[in-house]
Chains A and B, each alone.
Chain A
Amino acid sequence: MRGRPQPEHAPQSCAHPVDRALTHTSMTRTLTLLLIPFVLLLAACERPAIHTERMLAFGTLVEVSIYTADEDLARAGANAVREDFEYMHRAWHPWQPGAMGRTNQLLAMEGWFSVSPSILPLLKLAAELEAASDGLFNPVMGELMEIWGFHGDEEPQAPPEEERIQEWLERAPSTRYIELDGIRARATRPGVRLDPGGFAKGYAVDRAMERLMDMGIDHAIINAGGDLRAIGQPGRRAWRIGIRHPDGEGVLASLELQGDESVYTSGDYERYFVHDGTRYHHILDPRTARPARETRSVTVMHHDGALADAASTALFVAGPERLGEIAGRMGVHKVMLVDPDGEVHMTGAMAERIRFEIDPAPTVHIVELSQ
Chain B
Amino acid sequence: MSGLMLLSTTREDHLVAWLAALAIAIHVLESALPSPIPGVKPGLANVITVLALVMFGWRVAAWVSLLRVLAGSLLTGTFLSPTFLLSLSGAAASLAALLVAHALVGQRLSPLGLCVLAAMAHMLGQFAIAYALIIPHPALLNLLPVLLSAALLFGLVTGTMAARIYRQHPAVST
Report which A residues bind B (CB closer than 8 A).
1-7, 9-12, 14, 16-18, 20-22, 26, 29-30, 33-34, 37-38, 41-42, 45
Q: Is the CB of A22 within 8 A of B18?
A: yes
A-B Cβ contacts below 8 A, count: 65
Query: Are A12 and B173 touching (Cβ within 8 A)?
Result: yes
Task: Give B109-160 interface residues, CB cut-off 8 Å to A.
Answer: 157
Do most interface residues of chain B lie in helix, strand or loop, or is the interface mixed? helix
Are B157 and A37 in contact (CB-based, < 8 A)?
A: yes
Min CB distance B88 to A, Å, is 22
B42 A41 Cβ-Cβ under 8 A: yes
- Asked if residues B55 and A21 are in contact (CB atoms below 8 Å), the reply is yes
When distances are taken between beta carbons in the complex, the residues of chain A under 8 Å from B42 are 37, 41
Residues on the A chain within 8 Å of B5, using CB:
none
* Contact in complex: A20, B106 (CB < 8 Å): no
Residue of B nearest to A23 (CB): B169
Residues of chain B lying within 8 A (CB to CB) of residue A17: 11, 15, 56, 172-174
With both beta carbons as reference points, the residue of chain B lying nearest to A11 in the complex is identified as: B172
- Residues on B lying within 8 angstroms of A by beta carbon are 11, 14-15, 18, 26, 29-30, 33-34, 42, 44, 47, 54-58, 102-103, 106-107, 157, 161, 164-165, 168-174
Cβ–Cβ < 8 Å partners of B11 in chain A: 16-18
> A22 contacts which chain B residues (CB < 8 A)?
18
Whether B33 pairs with A42 at a CB distance below 8 angstroms is: yes
- Please give the distance in Å from B24's CB to the nearest CB on chain A: 13
Counting chain B CB atoms within 10 Å of each CB, the highest count among A33, A34, A41 belongs to A34
Determine if B161 and A10 form an interchain contact, defined as CB atoms under 8 angstroms apart: no
> Which residues of chain B are within 8 angstroms of A2 by Cβ–Cβ distance?
57-58, 103
Contact of B15 among A6, A7, A18 (CB under 8 A): A18
Contact with A4, one of B30, B107, B157, B168 (Cβ below 8 angstroms):
B107
Q: Do B170 and A9 have beta carbons less than 8 Å apart?
A: yes
Q: How far is the CA of A34 from the CA of B25 in the complex (A)?
A: 11
A10: contacting residue among B30, B47, B171, CB under 8 A: B171
Given A10-B173, A17-B174 in contact, is the A33-B161 Cβ separation under 8 Å? yes
B81 CB, min distance to chain A CBs, angstroms: 23
A-B contact pairs, 29 of them (CB 8 A): A2-B57, A3-B102, A3-B103, A3-B107, A4-B107, A4-B171, A9-B170, A10-B171, A10-B173, A16-B11, A17-B11, A17-B15, A17-B174, A18-B11, A18-B14, A18-B18, A20-B172, A22-B18, A26-B168, A26-B169, A34-B26, A34-B44, A34-B161, A37-B44, A38-B29, A38-B30, A41-B33, A41-B42, A45-B34
3 tightest Cβ-Cβ pairs between the two chains A and B: A3-B106, A17-B172, A1-B57
Given A16-B11, A41-B33; 20 other pairs, CB 8 A cutoff: A1-B57, A1-B174, A2-B103, A4-B54, A7-B170, A10-B171, A12-B173, A17-B11, A17-B173, A17-B174, A18-B15, A18-B18, A20-B172, A22-B18, A26-B169, A30-B165, A33-B164, A33-B165, A34-B26, A41-B42
Our pick among A4, A10, A12, A14 for the contact of B106 (Cβ within 8 Å) is A4
Q: Which residues of B contact A37 (CB under 8 A)?
A: 42, 44, 157
Determine if A4 and B33 form an interchain contact, defined as CB atoms under 8 angstroms apart.
no
Residues in chain B near residue A30, CB distance under 8 A: 165
Nearest residue (CB) in B for A6 is B173
Query: Residue of A at shortest CB range from B103?
Result: A3
Q: Write out the residue numbers on chain B whose beta carbons fall within 8 Å of the beta carbon of A29.
A: 168
Cα–Cα, bound, A128→B141 (Å):
64
Chain B residues near A34: list those with CB within 8 A: 26, 44, 47, 161
Docked pose: A10 CA to B166 CA in angstroms: 12
Q: Which residues of B contact A26 (CB under 8 A)?
A: 168-169
**Residue of chain A at shortest CB distance from B154:** A37
Instruction: Please pick, from A16, A21, A42, the residue contacting B169 in the complex, using a CB distance under 8 A.
Output: A21
| Contact, CB under 8 Å: A5 / B161 | no
Which among A12, A14, A29, A37 has the greatest number of chain B C-beta atoms within 10 A?
A37
Q: Which residues of A contact B54 (CB under 8 A)?
A: 4
Query: With A2-B103, A5-B107, A37-B42 in contact, do A20 and B14 touch (Cβ < 8 Å)?
Result: no
